[in-house]
């Protein structure tokens, strides 16, 4: 009986010891008075569907970012501004998979000296939604990039090394952010709107809607990772997109994992090759001079 009780406690402890249940940084609304088109619903509570292996969020009407910042404890000198990444979780624009495509990765980046910000954007394909991908979800994505730049000093972020990363439907947002951006409005009353929305690099992890993606010279460099067993628009479509990047002289790196499908995300302790893609991304960031080379290497 004692063994059964101990085992039950261990299972429960393991279940709750996830970033969905663990204490995490406070999320920061992208608009203090409500997002355009959502002001009347900004106070509605978000809905969470949490269980073993999932941490899904819906009913988002007050878009936000959750910051994961590298620790400065023990630093004897001023810490130099770091590269930063905006993370766009996937979920088919119907929900956001905030665990293995959001909070878990945000913490991993912070532990590796990279500032990360997990986006909660409005959902265009949730049942009953009046939002659109190109209108509302992209407005949230671009606003998040502007906000991070506007608070660069506070968060010790290098404004010239701010990237965007997206999974699946979030990969669509990341790619669109790299395709279309602006320098901000210098005369805007809102200081956030004075900031540019162009990401300095893009990270596309099994992104959806690849047929929408266009390529032109001068676009931000790209890191792409996907599974060979994914659906054709991703497993073939992204290989074709890589060739377009190469033809236009846009630096790009492509990783295709032969034994992976869709949705592998990031899970601590994963033993598969696809599970180590964040390490490959970090190496690419060092090779691309986005991160400094580790003096121990």
CA nearest neighbour of 162 among 140, 176, 177, 180: 177
Q: How many other β-carbons are positioned within 10 Å of the β-carbon of residue 279? A: 11
Tokens representing residue 131 in the block: 């939002």
Tokens representing residue 234 in the block: 């991703």
Sheet containing 54-58: which strands, arranged edge to edge?
Answer: 47-51, 54-58, 96-97
CA distances from 142 to 131, 183, 204 (A): 16, 11, 16
pLDDT tens string for the chain (297 positions)?
444 433 333 333 333 445 565 678 999 999 999 999 999 999 999 999 998 888 999 999 999 999 999 997 755 445 689 999 999 999 999 999 999 999 999 999 999 999 999 999 999 999 999 999 999 999 999 999 999 999 999 999 999 999 999 999 999 999 999 999 999 999 999 999 999 999 999 999 999 999 999 999 999 999 999 999 999 999 999 999 999 999 999 999 999 999 999 999 999 988 889 999 999 999 999 999 999 987 555
Distance CA 12, CA 25 (A): 23
Domains in the chain (CATH in brackets) are 2-287 (3.40.50.1820)
* Angle at alpha carbon of residue 120, lines to 270 and 220, rounded to 5°: 75
Task: Put residue 220 in one of left, alpha, beta given phi > 0 → left and psi -120 to 50 → alpha.
Answer: beta
Helices 138-150 and 169-179, packing angle to 10 deg: 70
Q: How many other β-carbons are positioned within 10 Å of the β-carbon of residue 129? A: 16
Distance CA 274, CA 280 (A): 10
Question: Which residue do the tokens 């010790």 mark?
Answer: 156
Tokens representing residue 152 in the block: 């660069």
Q: Note whether 154 and 121 are within 8 A (CB).
A: no
Q: Note whether 193 and 185 are within 8 A (CB).
A: yes
Q: Note whether 106 and 117 are within 8 A (CB).
A: yes
DSSP-derived 3-state class of residue 115: strand
Q: Is the dihedral of CA 36, 131, 179, 161 positive or negative?
A: positive
């Amino acid at each position: 009986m004692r063994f059964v009780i101990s085992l039950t406690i261990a299972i429960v402890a393991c279940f709750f010891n996830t970033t969905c249940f663990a204490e995490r940084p406070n999320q920061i609304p992208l608009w203090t008075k409500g997002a355009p088109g959502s002001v009347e619903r900004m106070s509605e509570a978000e809905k969470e569907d949490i269980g073993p292996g999932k941490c899904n969020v819906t009913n988002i009407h007050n878009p936000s970012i959750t910051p994961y910042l590298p620790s400065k404890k023990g630093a004897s000198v001023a810490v130099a501004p770091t590269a930063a990444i905006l993370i766009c979780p996937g979920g088919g624009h119907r929900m956001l998979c905030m665990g293995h495509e959001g909070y878990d990765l945000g913490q991993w980046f912070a532990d590796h000296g990279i500032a990360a910000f997990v986006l909660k954007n409005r959902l265009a394909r949730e049942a009953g939604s009046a939002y659109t991908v190109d209108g509302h979800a992209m407005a949230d994505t671009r606003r998040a990039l502007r906000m991070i730049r506007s608070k660069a000093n506070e968060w010790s972020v290098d404004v010239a090394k701010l990237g965007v990363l997206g999974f699946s439907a979030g990969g669509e947002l990341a790619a669109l952010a790299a395709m279309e951006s602006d320098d901000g409005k210098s005369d805007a009353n809102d200081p956030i709107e004075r900031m540019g929305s162009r990401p300095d690099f893009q990270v596309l992890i099994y992104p959806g809607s690849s047929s929408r993606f266009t390529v032109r010279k001068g676009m931000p460099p790209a890191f792409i990772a996907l599974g060979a067993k994914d659906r054709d628009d991703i497993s073939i479509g992204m290989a074709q997109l890589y060739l377009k990047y190469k033809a236009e002289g846009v630096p790009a790196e492509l990783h295709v994992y032969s034994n992976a499908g869709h949705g592998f995300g990031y899970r601590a302790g994963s033993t598969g090759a696809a599970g180590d893609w964040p390490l490959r991304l970090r190496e690419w960031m060092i090779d691309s001079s986005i991160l400094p080379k580790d003096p121990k290497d």
